[in-house]
Amino acid sequence: MRKDPHQRAASELARRCVRCDKTFRPEAPEWVCVSCGGNLDVLYDYDELRRWWSKASLAADTTRSMWRYDAILPRGLIDHMPTLQTGWTPLYHAPQLGSELGVTKIELKDDGRNPTGSLKDRASAMAVAHAISLGQRVLACASTGNAASALAGMCANAGLTSVIFVPEKTPSGKLAQIIAFGSYLVRVEGSYDQAFDLAMAACSRFGWYNRNTGINPYLSEGKKTVAFEIAEQLGWEAPDWVLVPVGDGNIIASVGKGFEELLHIGFIERLPRLVAVQSEGSSAIVDALLGDGVVRPVEVTTLADSIAVGKPRDPDRALRAVRQSSGLGVKVRDSEILEAQSLLASKEGVFVEPSAAASLAGLVRLAAAGDIARDDRVVLLLTGNGLKDTDSVLDRAQLPAPIPASMESLERRLAEDPLGDHSSGIGA
């Protein structure tokens, strides 16, 4: 897995505030802007990078993980990466889904195939490597579940301690992972937003490494690798659209940063249009995109727990990513999310958690509205594995009654409910 030690990496030039453009030297301790409180982007010397990094040199690299792109990741962190193989997840063409929707070029980026089952593994792998480089041994975060299990797994792998703050209502699959990985679990009465504030205060109080979304600029450096992979897996042809489930906004901001960096260094020739998809029950960022551009906290009611965020923690960078790419925001109903989950599984054999299926629900809306055309190339970012939250399926499934183990019983069942009539998926 380790790279050639002669491999170079881009120079980190600065961190820059998304709101006021104030910059901080790489060695400065600030993670958020001291002037305005905005989140920071990590910037590299892209001109230098262009001189020695090319698609050809990348093609010769046999690394099959997010660390394949270490030339444009924080320098030296690859030396501290967890050994869990993270990133380089499959990108599947989805012809059956395409026929169903009348959009012929759908590609599924299945990030549920990461070590703990979600895209958040990319961020947590980077956080763990960063913490080790700083000599820190205790890492903490608040999470709706996926970031927590990712941090818990990566810390277990690296022999570090994780302290995880989760809202009371976290799906059992995610809690099971956190417990199994041996984290110090803090269940917080209330919502994700309250767990987040307590985690922030705790990192500050106890000096723990802060893996909270938005304020830690290095998480994006992990997450942006999914954009690199999409572009490379499509032969460096940017797709027309990338649809992204949005909660805090950090994933879509990172995807945007990834594509922008590829454009800067000349690996792609245009940006894909990014679509922020949110549940109607958690739509602070899309409301801002569709309205006056101001992100206001909302009451959260969605069942899509990974994107259930009342007060997004990376709103400015999320809005910027959508706008810079001439993208869109779209809201979907929870029922549409569940139908999309069923479609993905039954038409393509890719089982994702409800939040991840929001990207497909968004495509269904935009295709019906004519915003996305029949021949557009569309990538759906599938952010989490369906096994994370099996209750969401079982709660609405009508399990067939058991039958006695006899051919007579089987024939009776087949007569009542014929095979040919059996429609796929979780149901209407």
Binding to its own copies in span 78-117, by CB under 8 A: 82-85, 90, 92-93, 96, 113, 115-117
Residue 308 makes contact with its own copies by CB under 8 A: no
**Residue number with CB closer to its own copies (34 or 180):** 180
Q: Which of residues 242-301 bind its own copies (CB under 8 A)?
A: none
Q: Which of residues 39-68 bind its own copies (CB under 8 A)?
A: 64
CB of 5 to its own copies, least distance (A): 19
Residue 334 makes contact with its own copies by CB under 8 A: no
Structure tokens at 332: 């979907």
**Residue number with CB closer to its own copies (136 or 194):** 194
CB of 178 to its own copies, least distance (A): 10
Question: Binding residue for its own copies (CB under 8 A) from 399, 415, 416, 428?
Answer: 399
Residue 40 DSSP one-character state: E
Cα–Cα distance for residue pair 404/223, rounded to 1 Å? 50
> Which region among 308-316, 324-332, 362-370, 415-423 touches its own copies (by CB under 8 A)?
415-423
| Bridge partners of residue 382, in order along the sequence | 110
**Residue number with CB closer to its own copies (51 or 401):** 401
8 Å CB contact between 375 and 240? no
Cα–Cα distance for residue pair 110/87, rounded to 1 Å? 10
> Which region among 34-42, 215-223, 326-334, 392-400 touches its own copies (by CB under 8 A)?
392-400
- In the block, residue with structure tokens 């679990």: 185
8 Å CB contact between 262 and 342? no
CB of 45 to its own copies, least distance (A): 31
Residues binding its own copies: what is the number (CB under 8 A)? 83
Rg (CA), the chain: 22
Cα–Cα distance for residue pair 60/56, rounded to 1 Å? 7
Helical residues (DSSP H) of 295-353, grouped into ranges: 315-324, 334-348
Task: Name the nearest CA neighbour of 361 among 150, 101, 14.
Answer: 101
- CA atoms lying within 13 Å on the CB side of residue 143: 27
> Which region among 17-25, 197-205, 217-225, 359-367 touches its own copies (by CB under 8 A)?
197-205
Residue 416 makes contact with its own copies by CB under 8 A: no
C-alpha distances (whole Å) from 258 to each of 25, 168, 206, 224 are 21, 34, 33, 5
- List of E strands, 82-200: 91-93, 105-110, 138-142, 161-167, 184-188
Q: Which of residues 358-387 bind its own copies (CB under 8 A)?
A: 385-387
- In the block, residue with structure tokens 């960078």: 317
Residue 331 DSSP one-character state: E
CB of 324 to its own copies, least distance (A): 32
Cα–Cα distance for residue pair 331/400, rounded to 1 Å? 34
Residue 84 DSSP one-character state: S
Question: Binding residue for its own copies (CB under 8 A) from 404, 415, 416, 428?
Answer: 404
> Which region among 6-14, 171-179, 216-224, 372-380 touches its own copies (by CB under 8 A)?
171-179
Question: Binding residue for its own copies (CB under 8 A) from 195, 268, 271, 340?
Answer: 195
Residue 23 makes contact with its own copies by CB under 8 A: no
Residue 408 makes contact with its own copies by CB under 8 A: no
Structure tokens at 69: 């792109």
**Residue number with CB closer to its own copies (328 or 350):** 350
Cα–Cα distance for residue pair 177/181, rounded to 1 Å? 6
CB of 289 to its own copies, least distance (A): 30
**Residue number with CB closer to its own copies (312 or 386):** 386
Residue 190 makes contact with its own copies by CB under 8 A: yes
Residue 198 makes contact with its own copies by CB under 8 A: yes
Question: Binding residue for its own copies (CB under 8 A) from 5, 29, 159, 370?
Answer: 159
CB of 422 to its own copies, least distance (A): 5
Structure tokens at 381: 């970012």
Question: Binding residue for its own copies (CB under 8 A) from 307, 340, 363, 426?
Answer: 426
Q: Which H or E element spans position 109?
A: strand 105-110
CB of 65 to its own copies, least distance (A): 9
Residue 186 makes contact with its own copies by CB under 8 A: yes
Q: Which H or E element spans position 156?
A: helix 146-158
